[in-house]
Amino acid sequence: MEKAINRQRVLLEHLRPSSSSSFVYGSDSSSSSPPISASACAAGDSAAYHRTSVFGDDVVIVAAYRTPICKAKRGGFKDTYADDLLAPVLKAVIEKTNVNPSEVGDIVVGTVLAPGSQRATECRMAAFYAGFPETVPIRTVNRQCSSGLQAVADVAAAIRAGFYDIGIGAGLESMTSSPLAWEGSVNPKVKIFEQAQNCLLPMGITSENVAHRFGVTRQEQDQAAVESHQRAAAATASGKFKDEIIPVPTKIVDPITGDEKPITISIDDGIRPNARSSDLAKLKPVFKKDGSTTAGNSSQVSDGAGAVLLMKRSIAVQKGLPILGVFRTFAAVGVDPAIMGVGPAAAIPAAVKAAGLELDDIDLFEINEAFASQFVYCRNKLELDPEKINVNGGAIALGHPLGATGARCVATLLHEMKRRGKDCRFGVISMCIGSGMGAAAVFERGDAVDDLCNARVVQSNSLLSKDAQ
């Protein structure tokens, strides 16, 4: 009975007396009780986001950091163990927030290429390096290129479900130590099912399929690559990435002498500030003789890690922690494996709709540039403003350490949204996924919960008053 009464009370709070309508239900008009009518919502679809700090069940992000992203096998992390990549970012989200590591309910790490049991153990080792006690559990998750974002979504879902109040979603990939490879034989049954067979297509071939099927030209792809490098170079030069990058002390081993040199990596090493379309045009296609996908308009094979600290809003407020962002929605969808790169074009609308928003409400996008072909297609298909997408460059310039990319994107997006302030309320992260999927998540800027900059204007008269006239 008490629950029913509470439900009625909540319902009545959404109704209010009408000051301009007549009482049309045949009741005694002299009654001291005013009529009840529904009021028109002046905020449109954005009303769901008129939040204040009393909404303690919001899942919020209070810290998001990443390592620099380095070229696999020849970059700054070529001699760095995978666990030594993950440990610094796990340590950073705790130390920079002064959260007691023993309060963390779980750590979920997105990772793709390494053998599952080995990588799970390496992640556990990294947690100990970072100062977490043995009581804090850790696990891995693999949804290909969206693994880092999936880890963040898994932690957000667990917090909402009440499993724990504080958790870390992270991502890790050392493509130096774990190259792309298929182990064992392939089930011959795959030849009977075309879509199953297409799951085995090289990613570069799926890029060529997207370019061919949807008419994405070589020139468009090369131009997108140039813009990625230019934006990443500008962000680096202006110091934007300093807010999200955790410098990593490591070593470089001379391949000839074996001598070790201590070094601290603090910047991404794959960015080409002087990239030009004329230079990229000289590169030969990699996957198809008459194709358009080259090493210059594809994402780089990279090493890196990232970590995101999430908790209930009420806990963050209690601890006095500034809120970097609010986790709103997540969606994963399936698409044709032969054109897996179209995944964001399907996933983004799904996630945005689940948030009660429209594409025009989104102020910033981080869309993973697995290949320029699929990036350009998704941008054009959704009719997105290029000035809102990957404003600090993307994976073509920065690199794509598969399991870490999602966590990297969270750090990049939320810090950029913080810099832009009231001009930037909602952001989206999305990527395509090998074997034919797409994933996307919607975030809200942390200090945007008390203003409705996206509110839509509607008539102020109540709906029932209009009907009664």
Mind listing the pLDDT tens digit for each residue in 364-387?
999 999 999 999 999 999 999 999
Lowest-confidence region among 174-183, 206-215, 235-244: 174-183
Q: CB within 8 A of 410, min separation 6: which ones?
A: 61, 64, 148, 149, 152, 169, 306, 308, 325, 429, 443
Structure tokens at 90: 């796990």
Distance CA 33, CA 46 (A): 32
Least confident window among 44-48, 215-219, 256-260, 263-267: 44-48
Tokens 């806990």 label which residue? 315
Model pLDDT, residue 172? 98
What is the Cβ-side half-sphere exposure of residue 353, based on CA atoms within 13 angstroms?
Answer: 7
Q: Are 89 and 305 within 8 A, CB to CB?
A: yes
pLDDT of residue 128: 98
Exactly one of 70, 123, 409, 432 is catalytic; name it. 432
Percent of the chain with pLDDT over 70: 84
Those residues whose C-beta lies under 8 Å from the C-beta of residue 159, and which sit 6 or more positions away, are: 59, 105, 165, 166, 167, 310, 311, 312
pLDDT band at 2 (very low <50, low <70, confident <90, very high): low
| Token code pair at residue 231 | 């934006």
Enter the pTM of the model: 0.85
* H/E element, 379: helix 372-381
Question: How many angstroms from the chain centroid is the CA of residue 28?
Answer: 57
- At 383, the amino acid letter reads E
**Residue 285 CA to its chain's centroid (Å):** 30
Interior angle at CA 439, CA 202 and CA 207, nearest 5: 25
For 148-177, the DSSP string reads HHHHHHHHHHHHHHTS-SEEEEEEEEETTT
What's at 278, amino acid-wise?
Answer: S
In this predicted structure, what is the pLDDT of residue 312?
A: 96
d(CA 60, CA 443): 9
Give the mean pLDDT of 96-124: 96
Q: Which residue has the tokens 């500034």?
A: 322
Residues 6+ apart with CB under 8 A from 53: 313, 317, 449
- Contact in structure between 342 and 445 (CB atoms under 8 Å): no
Question: CA 121, CA 134: separation in Å to the nearest integer?
Answer: 13
Q: Identify each DSSP E strand in 96-165 by its residue range.
A: 106-110, 138-141
CA distance 189 to 340: 21
Confidence of residue 75 (pLDDT cuts 50, 70, 90): very high
How far is the C-alpha of 423 from the C-alpha of 379, rounded, in Å? 21
SS3 253: strand
Q: Distance between the two ends of the chain, CA-based, in angstroms?
A: 38
Residue tagged active-site, from 400, 409, 415, 424: 400
145 is an active site residue: yes
Interatomic CA distance for residues 344 and 339, integer angstroms: 11
Q: Which of 70, 123, 145, 378 is catalytic?
A: 145
419, 252 in Cβ contact below 8 A? no
Asked if 407 contacts 171 with a C-beta cutoff of 8 angstroms, the reply is: yes
Q: How confident is the model at residue 393 (pLDDT cuts 50, 70, 90)?
A: very high
Please identify which residue in the block is written with the tokens 């996933």.
Answer: 347
| Cβ atoms of residues 369 and 216 within 8 Å | no
pLDDT of residue 242 exceeding 50, the answer is yes
Helical axes 372-381 vs 343-354, angle rounded to 10°: 40
At residue 248, the 3 state secondary structure works out as strand
41 is catalytic: no
pLDDT of residue 181: 77
pLDDT value at position 6?
A: 60
- Residue 140 token pair: 């891995």
Is the model's pLDDT at 457 over the cut of 90?
no
How far is Cα 304 from Cα 67, in angstroms, rounded to an integer?
6
What's the confidence (pLDDT) of residue 180?
77
Beta strands in 280-324 (DSSP E): 302-312
* Pure H helices in 186-312: 194-198, 203-214, 218-237, 277-280
Q: Which residue has the tokens 């995101």?
A: 308
CB 264 within 8 A of CB 270: no
